[in-house]
Amino acid sequence: MVKVIKHKRDSKKITLFKLEHTNMKFVEMADGLIIHTKNEDFLITDDDCDENEIDVNKQIKNLFSIGNTTNYKVKIQFTSKTNEKYYISFNPQIITIPPNYGCEFSLFLTPLCNSTMESSFVINYFIFANDSKTCIHQMDFKYITKISTRLDPDSLIEEKQLGVGSFGVVFKGKLGGNTVAIKKMKNATDSNDQMAEFEKEVSMLYKFRCDYIVHFYGAVFFPNKICMVTAFAEFGSVCDMLKNKDAKDVDMKLRFKMCLDATKGVSYLHKNGILHRDIKPDNVLLFSLNPNDVVNGKLTDFGSSRNINMMMTNMTFTKGIGTPNYMAPEVLNKEKYKMPCDIYSLAISFFEIIGWAEPFPKKRFKYAWDIADFVGKGNHLTYDENFGIETQEMINSMWDFKPKNEFYATKL
């Protein structure tokens, strides 16, 4: 009963008309069938927009008509190949057109990534004559999308593997004329909840407009091809530099500039209600080694960032997010946490960069829980000769906060 009602409801949407009563301009299709589209090359456009480019991940409806100039009824049915880059459907999907009648069809298209697409669908038709058989006509169409965060995987060129982690693999590559870092994710979207969170994060990253945040180009959302694409840092991370260069080879002015740039990145996040949650030298990428340049370091890796509106609720420590060396005491103690946690992580990063040494050397802190125990008890690291009085006072003010007090990067 439900199916019958649905069919009747759908049939009301079908528009059949006599060809003699229309002024539409048709062109020959095949075997006495004629077709009318709103433009010659069947470019799919949005009627609500003057531009030819259409939005990604938004369904667009375009109308076209097929006429039957034969003396027989003609059955029409649409088929299309599965394509990961778009969804396409038709209404009606199947219909019989009487002689000298036309039918208006709706084509529904949803682009799933940035693309300039040329594709086709098939019109299957059967003419009810004595010698008839089912024939097919290939119908080409085109569309051009607006730029969005949803990248076409075919637009990415992987050139060189840079590193492997629990999250996945990072490649150096190309996107158009830009050199980029391609972070291929493992298990990023194993569930609907994970995919929804991934989409929210991509949307958030795309809105960032700050010289001290690594530029985000977008992401690929297709299963088994999930990745995020950012600007490529020619000089690697501050962590790479700590491992590969001796202290004598890194000017103190550059060390302070790295710290300043990281602070400006954190300040931008906090002003926009975002908590990074994993600040460390490994997540400060270097785009210049000249301390006189406007920008040297930029923050990256927001895989564990969360909106502060969510953070201000009764959330506590989430296992697997963050690095023990840089975690604030209340995070390690699984207490509530807010923006000051980023400042604590920044303080430990300052200590490591300015001192150019591991903050928690393995000789003293053999296991991760040794660090957690040390920090959880409120202990602090000891300064060496690299730290002047003003620098010590600044770092002390960063890691001596109490969680209930507000202490944001804008104060530094």
> Has 400 been annotated as catalytic?
no
Out of 152, 261, 278, 342, pick the active-site residue: 278
The overall longest dimension of the chain from CA atoms, in Å, is 100
Q: Is 319 annotated as a binding residue?
A: no
Catalytic site residues? 278
Annotated binding site for ATP: 184
